[in-house]
Amino acid sequence: MISYPHETHPAPGSAVEVAPDILWLRLPLPMAINHVNVYALRDVDGWTLVDTGVNARRCREAWEAALAGPLAGHPVVRVLVTHHHPDHVGLAGWFQAQGAELLMTRTAWLFARMLTLDVQTVATPEQIAFWQGAGMVPDLLEKRRAERPFNFADIVAPMPLGFTRLEEGQVLRLAGRDWTIRFGHGHAPDHATLWSHDGDIVIGGDQLLPSISPNLGVYATEPMADPVADWITACQRLRPFATERQLILPGHKLPFTGLPDRLRQMIENHEGALDRLRRHLAHGAHTAAECFAPLYKREIDEGTYGLALVEAVAHLNHLLNRGEVTRIRRQDGAWLWSLASDRPHP
C-alpha cells in the first residue's frame, strides 16, 4: 500500500530531514511540473547533493538560501546527478565551478554535455521531419518551423570536462550508509537509483515516482527507440529489491512507501495505455498525434503537446516492435499506424 510519511513539502531554501543526515529540499521549476526534489547527504567532509534543478534565477536563489541556512557549516563536495534531464543536471556545472566533484553515469554525462553544446537558432531538418512523421497539427508545425527552438543550454549551466562515473552495481558510502547503484531505463537511459543497504531508503529520481508517470518519449535523435519496453523491463528488474518499508525519495511529488505496489502500478499504467491504443487503431489508421485521446484520456494543450507527441510515438514504436502494428507514409510525410491485420491506404 502506498503512503506518504510527509504530508507537506519544504519551502524553497528550507529542508526537511527525512532520515539521519539526509535532507529533502524542493526547488521551483519554470515548467508544467513546477518543482523538483533534491537531496543533501551529510558526511564528515561535507555535503553530497543529489540532483540540482535548472539553471534559472529562482533555482539559484533557492540554493543560495539553503546553503546559507540548513546546509550552512559544511561545503558541497560532490554532486550526484541521477539522469541527464535539465531539471536534474541544470546546475551541476554551477556547483562544479565552485569545486564540487560530479558523479553521473557515463551515458547521462555524455547526453548532458552533448546537448549543452548543441545550440540551434531554428529547428533542424531532422526535427521537422520527425514532427511531420508524428502528424503534428499544421498550424503548430508552422509555428515550430519559425520560432527559436528550446535549447538544453537555455536552462543548463555549462558543464566543464571531467566527471566520476557511476556504474551498475557500484557501492557508494554516503551519509553513513552504503548504497548500491541500480540503473533504470525508459524515462532516461542509465538512470541511477540508490538503494541503501540497511533497506530503509531508496533515492529514486524520476525512475520511482508516486502518483504521476514520467514521460517516455521518442525524439529525432533516436526515432525508432522503444522506451516503453525499456521502462517495463526496468520496473520488472527492480521489483525483487523493493520492500514495503523502504522510504522512496523521488524526483517529484512526496516521499512515499509501498514501492512493490507502485512498481506494479507503473507497469500496469502502460499496459493499460497500450490496450486502449490497440482498440483505437482497431477502428482505423491514425497518426501519432491522433492517438492522444486513448492514451491520456484528457485534453492536451499547446504547453503539453510536445511531451504528449513523443510519448504517443513511443507507444506506437513499442507495438511496432512487437509486430502488432504497421505503418505507411502519407503524402504529407505523416506515418499512418494501423493494426497489423488492417493496412491503411494514404
- Could you report the per-residue pLDDT of 248-257, keeping only the tens digit for each? 999 999 999 9
Task: Examine the pLDDT at 297 and tell me if it is beyond 90.
Answer: no
pLDDT of residue 342: 47
Identify the DSSP state of 10: P
| Residue 90, SS3 per DSSP | coil
Task: Quote the distance between the C-alpha of residue 236 and its chain's center.
Answer: 18
Tell the residue number behind the cell numbers 562515473, with chain if given. Answer: 165
Q: Alpha-carbon distance 102 to 93, whole Å?
A: 8
CB atoms within 10 A of CB 178: 12
Length of the chain: 346
Mean pLDDT of the chain: 96
> What's the CA gap between 87 and 90, in Å, rounded?
6
Which pLDDT score is estimated for 157?
98
- What is the dotted CATH code of the domain comprising 135-149+281-339? 1.10.10
C-alpha cell at 104: 553521473
Question: Sorting pLDDT into bands at 50, 70 and 90, what band is 32?
Answer: confident
Is residue 345 scored above 60 in pLDDT?
Answer: no
What's the CATH architecture for 16-126+151-268?
4-Layer Sandwich (3.60)
Whether residue 242 has pLDDT greater than 70: yes
Encode pLDDT of 44-102 as tens digits: 999 999 999 999 999 999 999 999 999 997 999 999 999 999 999 999 999 999 999 99
C-alpha cell at 107: 551515458
Q: Domain coordinates of the chain in residue numbers?
A: 16-126+151-268, 135-149+281-339
What tens digit of pLDDT does each residue of 136-168 get?
A: 999 999 999 999 999 999 999 999 999 999 999
pLDDT for 303 equals 87
Model pLDDT, residue 346: 40
Which grid coordinates belong to 54?
A: 535548472
